[in-house]
A and B are shown apart, each in its own frame.
Chain A
């Protein structure tokens, strides 16, 4: 199995040609949306042996208006040793997509971590609570609007180095 075959499988699951690229490191990146995610992942798992969910994480791109958040899934076909990266872009107004816990038991904590840091709502998750941060935290710290340092500090001013 190679990237082209995986892409063909995804296209047949979707019914249309997905927006996909093979990056220069050889990984197939496929853009999906929140409504098609479950059917594609289910098809990849049940029909094409992508039985291993390597990782779930998110990223925040405040400059991409209308798709500020991105949830990234890494799946692995352990039989053919083929990896694929699925991405779902989400708008700031609705940071929500269906959970994968029904397909992979291991998605549970990965999604909780993603919720904790980015506030992504995984619909249907059995126990969507914070996992690493304290429960009464009232923001999602990996979003880009929260700086690492206290904004009022001046002793770490780097402007002399052009940044």
Chain B
């Protein structure tokens, strides 16, 4: 290994050169292999990367500023657009944050329904990431098969909320409607068929000699560095740290389910791939348990101040009309206070720091976006490797532009 030095700007640079003929290469902002809009200015000597300087913010939409003008229920569609590969987790995380602030207790059934939706979202998120790692190594086949499976998950979302990508699923207090019989039928079919199709994909790549040679050792990070960089989610677990918000600070009754947290060893592209593969299997396990143990009860909490009444009630009863009007106009009273609530998003600890002064909108809302925090380690992970490994490292870190730039 050559020596790495740290420049005054904190940037890592490699001192080893091949022939001293250094070129500057713009990787992005609109390079197809970056799967999103971000730029990296690379200094390369042949294929070897000497330094990298990421520029982000190309799709910054000022969500934190927007949230300061919107009533609480109108912020859910903003959260859709963070990590848009697993929007339901963002939506439900936000609902739970507001419920925590307002002291709303939801029925157990809502928790189990949420777990099912969030684990479906996790499967969809990891499928995209892992199949794209395949694409970036030149194996397109698995991608086409796994996107069919993702399509089935999107059809399940459609059954729940009518939307597919930006789901805006659920409400503060629960869900807008109960799971329909069609949803249950489709979910049963999915659970019956998906594991076999998924294992077929797994057989295409996980023990494939060509794939393993390609990804083992690409873009590694040690557990110590990953913790110093505040990594979370599959990327941290691939480095060998078993931190998962679902286990550490259970929310939505995750403590009721029996599942394993896979960890890796080297924190390289292969470990990140394998950890995500195993998490998909565990998610299927959680969904099965949730379906089996689904308690009877209501699909929303009894909180008329936050939860829209049925439309026919609005025409008939005065209270419903008043609540409907107040919710739609964003006039619901909410206690002052500040909360931090975290959920395990597709990429790691997705946190909401919410300060309320009792007004109709948040006084301050900060999203702790896992992508934003771990992407800063990217230069360190690719310096001294080759350009093709840099592409793989980026796709295996699952950097989602929407979450990165908020």
Contacts and interface: CB of A to CB of B under 8 A. Distances in A.
A108 B376 contact: yes
B337 A54 contact: no
Interface string B210-222: 0000000000000
Nearest to B349: A54
B325 to A, nearest CB: 10
A113 B337 contact: no
A85 B9 CA distance: 28
Interface in B248-293: 248-249
Given A74-B340, A108-B376, A126 B10 contact: yes
Interface string B130-164: 00000000000000000000000000000000000
Given A24-B337, A105-B377, A132-B405, A52 B230 contact: yes
B368 interface: yes
Interface in A89-136: 101, 104-106, 108-110, 113, 117, 126-127, 130-134
B358 interface: no
A134 B62 CA distance: 12
Contacts of B349: 54
Nearest to B373: A106
Given A59-B364, A74-B353, A132-B56, A148 B66 contact: yes
Interface in B354-381: 355, 360, 363-364, 366, 368, 372-377
Q: How large is the interface on B (under 10, 10 to 19, 20 to 34, 35 or more residues)?
A: 35 or more
A43 interface: no
B338 interface: yes
B176 interface: no
B225 A25 contact: no
B230 A131 contact: no
Given A55-B351, A59-B364, A132-B405, A127 B9 contact: yes
Contacts of A155: none
B60 interface: yes
Nearest to B101: A25
Given A23-B338, A132-B406, A55 B368 contact: yes
A37 B249 CA distance: 27
B322 interface: no
Contacts of A106: 228-231, 373-374, 376-377
A142 B229 contact: no
Given A106-B229, A126-B10, A148-B69, A72 B353 contact: yes
A24 B376 CA distance: 34
Nearest to B341: A25
A59 B57 contact: no
B339 interface: yes
B62 to A, nearest CB: 7
Nearest to B342: A54
Interface in B60-86: 60, 62, 64-66, 68-69
A133 B57 contact: yes
B329 interface: yes
Contact of A110 (B11, B338, B373): B373
B8 interface: yes
A133 B230 CA distance: 23
Given A131-B56, A163-B360, A54 B376 contact: no
Interface of A: 23-25, 27, 51-55, 57, 59-60, 72, 74, 78, 81, 83, 85, 101, 104-106, 108-110, 113, 117, 126-127, 130-134, 141-142, 148-149, 161, 163
14 contacts: A25-B100, A54-B230, A57-B364, A59-B364, A72-B353, A78-B227, A85-B340, A105-B228, A109-B376, A110-B373, A113-B372, A117-B64, A127-B9, A131-B56
Given A127-B9, A148-B69, 15 more contacts: A27-B340, A54-B340, A54-B349, A54-B368, A55-B366, A78-B241, A78-B243, A78-B248, A105-B228, A105-B377, A106-B373, A108-B376, A133-B60, A148-B65, A161-B331
